[in-house]
Amino acid sequence: MIYTGGTIGMVKDYNSGTLKPFNFKKLEKHIPELGQLDCHIDPVSFKDPIDSSNMNSDHWVIIAELIESHYDTHDGFVVLHGSDTMSYTASALSYMLENLSKPVIFTGSQLPIGDLRTDAKENLITAIQIASLSKKESPLIREVCLYFEYKLYRANRTTKINAEHFEAFASLNYPALAESGVHLKVYEENLIKTNTRKKLKVRTQMDTNVAILKLFPGLSENIFRSVLTAPNLKALILETYGAGNAPTEEWLVSELKDAIKKGIHIINVTQCSGGSVIMGQYETSQQLKKLRIINGKNITTEAAITKLMYLLGSGVPSKLFKTVFETSLRGEMD
Ligand code: ASP
């Protein structure tokens, strides 16, 4: 169990009234039920637990390396993480942990563990149970998942959709992997089937020379150009409307053309939380198709931006970049 921070382990600072991370030892003190679980838990904590708004790719590497160094001795991993950027971290880890054949379950909570009405206990206890599930003496789940409010999802399909409800996450383009009610039901047909004979490879090179630009009516040419000509930019997620549509104005097309000529990869990802980019369905995406912009299909923005960092970090050659991005690597797109 890796504790990175987040509300799950926070307490109220009575001077400032804000929520701040606290010592991991107290987390165990708050859930004595952990002792009743039918598995042995080794807790590891970030030296300085953080609010997940402060997460970056260096923290992802720490998590990946912790998993790597405990991989042979442990059956499964639970990562306690703030919910704000959990989908980003969990998506990133799904790429970084190549040939994963054990469960890595991210969870957190909307209310601190010490709160009377907390959702932390159920999330944590069930996440641990899921991480220890086995079938014929080998792990049942072999992928990076996110467990929150009675549902287990493929992590790289999730998005945080609510800052208030206990049901904070959704996976609109892929069904749940498991549901917890009176019984814990695992939908095995939805799980990734991996080749277990391959050894885990941990990829820690993540290139952060990437950006996300969300289209909106009224976006000006100057602003658009300044993003596309930002120094060191290597790839951009263009968050388009609906099924991957964008304004057909000439300046926009010509700015995109210039960027592509310079070797910048442009990915078409829809602003909608559900559904897919279908370039060419409407006249307003025909121009993007002609430019051979990369099709993000039904990938989430979180899974797309982290996939970019991973592919650029792995040195995928420019010529192959479009084909590799459009291929599902960890079940992140159809
Ligand atoms: N701000 C917190 C975080 O993401 C919220 C949470 O944990 O749910 O770290």
Active site includes 323? no
Q: What are phi and psi of 311, to 5 degrees?
A: -70, -40
Residue of 21, 125, 27 whose CA lies nearest to 82: 21
- Is residue 145 within 8 Å of residue 162, measured between CB atoms? no
- Of 3.40.228.10, 1.20.58.340, 3.50.30.40, 3.40.50.1170, which CATH number belongs to 2-202? 3.40.50.1170
Numbered ranges of CATH 3.40.50.40 in the chain = 210-325
Ligand 1 atom 8, closest CA: 83
Question: Is pLDDT at 21 greater than 80 in this prediction?
Answer: no
**CB of 52 sitting under 6 A from ligand 1:** yes
pLDDT bin (cut points 50, 70, 90) of residue 13 is: confident
For residue range 102-139, list pLDDT tens digits in order: 999 999 999 988 788 989 999 999 999 999 999 998 99
Query: Which residue is closest in CA terms to ligand 1's atom 7?
Result: 82
Whole-structure pTM value: 0.95
User: What kind and span of H or E run contains 78?
Assistant: strand 77-80
311-329 exposure pattern, b = at least 16 Cβ within 10 A, e = fewer: bbbeebeeeebbeebeeeb
pLDDT band of residue 20 (cuts 50, 70, 90) is confident
Residue 328: both structure tokens together? 């599902």
Task: Give domain 210-325's CATH architecture.
Answer: 3-Layer(aba) Sandwich (3.40)
Mode of pairing for the β-strands spanning 44-50 and 97-98: unpaired
Average pLDDT over the chain reads 94
Torsion of CA 52, 58, 60, 63, to 10 degrees: -100
Q: What is the pLDDT of residue 18?
A: 83
Token pair belonging to 34: 């952990």
Mean pLDDT of 280-291: 92
Residues 53-80 pLDDT 10s: 999 999 999 999 999 999 999 999 999 9
Query: How far, in Å, is the centroid of ligand 1 from the Cα of 18?
Result: 12
Amino acid making up residue 145:
C
Query: For a pocket test of ligand 1, which of 59, 80, 84, 85 has the largest count of ligand atoms closer than 8 A to its C-beta?
Result: 84
